[in-house]
Structure 1
Amino acid sequence: MMSNSDADREKDDEILRAWSVQLTDALEVHGLDVDIKSVLGLAGRAAHGVLRPAAPLTTFVAGYAAGIAAASGDVTPEAAVSAALDRAFQLCREHAAAAEQA
């Protein structure tokens, strides 16, 4: 039996998947498989490790960087996204650690 929070989480996941498809289609990046969990994880890390408004800023800049890297043709889009997310996560961790030491 699913708890209310499990049902709520499942409903949220369904809404986010549908929104992702609608958004990528509207922006003409058809077929883009968004790793929603990683993007939300990065947003959470930025919000808690830097400052709450850093969440959308961080995900936007990481996505922009991934797009530029993928457009260069030097890496696959998947590799570009992975590298941008990894680097952004690293920067968030470093920022949080430096803030703790200050």
Structure 2
Amino acid sequence: MKSQDETLEDWCRALLQALQLEEVEIDVNEVLSLAGVAAHSVVRPAAPLTTFIAGYAAGLASGAGQAADADPMQAAMAVARRLAKDYAAAEATGA
């Protein structure tokens, strides 16, 4: 029986292949970490929404040639992570 990590890696490869994105490198743990921050800092449904929007922004930046392929994803995920943490802090203080 496959572990959860193996299943996620297999699923990621299959999805990338189906979308004709085999050359794209995905750091599954980093994406899941961002989803966790969003889920715990905002609300649980923010997790898939945050990761989708970060990925979309990275794709647009990469397609526009704004940076090397790995840089837009890291940049978008950093912005999303910071915003989610700031959101939680603002909510805690009632701002």
1:31 aligns to what?
23
- Which structure ranks higher in relative contact order (CA pairs < 8 Å, sequence separation ≥ 6)? 2
1:12 aligns to what?
4
- The one-letter code matched in structure 2 to 1:31 is E
Measured in 1, the distance between the counterparts of 2:85 and 2:48 equals: 17
2:72 aligns to what?
80
Q: CA RMSD in A?
A: 1.3
Structure 1 or 2: more helix by fraction: 1
Measured in 2, the distance between the counterparts of 1:50 and 1:22 equals: 30
Tell me whether 1:96 sits opposite 2:94 in the alignment. Answer: no
Normalised TM-score (structure 2): 0.94
- Secondary structure of the residue that 1:30 maps to in structure 2? coil
Measured in 2, the distance between the counterparts of 1:13 and 1:33 equals: 16
Displaced runs of 4+ in structure 1, greater than 4 A?
none
- The one-letter code matched in structure 1 to 2:26 is V
Normalised TM-score (structure 1): 0.88
Percent same amino acid among aligned pairs? 44
Could you list the per-position Cα deviations for residues 38-94 of structure 1 after superposition, in whole angstroms to 9, with x for gaps in the alignment?
Answer: 100111111110011111100000000000000011201100000000000000110
- Higher Rg: 1
1:3 aligns to what?
none
Shift of 1:32: 1.6
2:40 aligns to what?
48
